[in-house]
Amino acid sequence: MNSLNAGQPVPAGPLPARRAAPRSLTLVVPVFNEAEAVHHFVRRISELFAAPGGPAIEMLFVNDGSRDSTLEELLSLQRLDPRIRVVDLSRNFGKEAALSAGLDVAKGDVVVPIDVDLQDPPELIGEMIEKWRDGYDVVAARRASRKADSWAKRVTAGWFYRIHNQISDIDIPENVGDFRLMDRSVVEALRQMPESRRFMKGLFAWMGFRTATVEYARPERVAGTSKFNGWKLWNFALEGTTSFSTVPLRIWTYIGGSVALLSIGFALYTVVKVLIFGIDVPGYASIVVAISLLGGLQLMGIGVLGEYLGRTYMESKRRPVFLIRTIYEGAAADALQGESRP
Ligand code: UDP
Ligand code: MG
The secondary structure of residue 171, as a DSSP letter, is: P
- Give me the tens of pLDDT residue by residue for the chain, a chain 342 residues long: 344 444 445 555 667 778 888 989 999 999 999 998 999 999 999 998 887 778 889 999 999 999 999 999 999 999 888 899 999 999 999 898 999 999 999 999 999 999 999 888 999 999 999 999 998 999 999 888 767 677 887 888 888 888 888 787 777 777 888 899 999 999 999 888 877 777 777 788 888 888 888 988 877 777 777 777 778 888 878 877 777 777 787 787 788 778 878 877 887 887 888 788 877 667 766 777 778 778 777 877 887 888 888 888 777 877 788 999 999 987 655 555 544 444
pLDDT on residue 201: 79
Give the ligand with the smallest distance to the CA of 30. 1
Q: Which atom of ligand 1 is nearest to the CA of 33?
A: 11
Measured in angstroms, how far is the CA atom of residue 218 from the centroid of ligand 1?
Answer: 14
What does the alpha-carbon distance between residue 43 and residue 50 come to, in Å, rounded to a whole number?
Answer: 10
Nearest CA residue ID for atom 16, ligand 1: 115
Specify whether the CB–CB gap between 70 and 63 falls below 8 A. yes
Instruction: Collapse the DSSP code of 337 into the 3-class scheme (helix H, G, I; strand E, B; otherwise coil) and give the result.
Output: coil
Ligand 1: residues within 6 Å at CB?
30-32, 34, 64, 92, 94-95, 98, 115-117, 119, 226-228
Kindly list the protein residues that place their beta carbon closer than 5 angstroms to ligand 2, a single-atom ion: 115, 117, 119
Q: Which atom of ligand 1 is nearest to the CA of 221?
A: 19
Q: How far apart are the first and last CA of the chain?
A: 32
Q: Which atom of ligand 1 is nearest to the CA of 226?
A: 20
Measured in angstroms, how far is the CA atom of residue 226 from the centroid of ligand 1?
Answer: 6
Which of 42, 226, 227 has most ligand 1 atoms within 8 Å of CB, for mutation?
227
- What backbone phi and psi angles, to 5 degrees, belong to 186? -70, -40
The helix or strand, by DSSP H or E, that contains position 283, with its residue range, turns out to be none
Q: Which atom of ligand 1 is nearest to the CA of 98?
A: 7
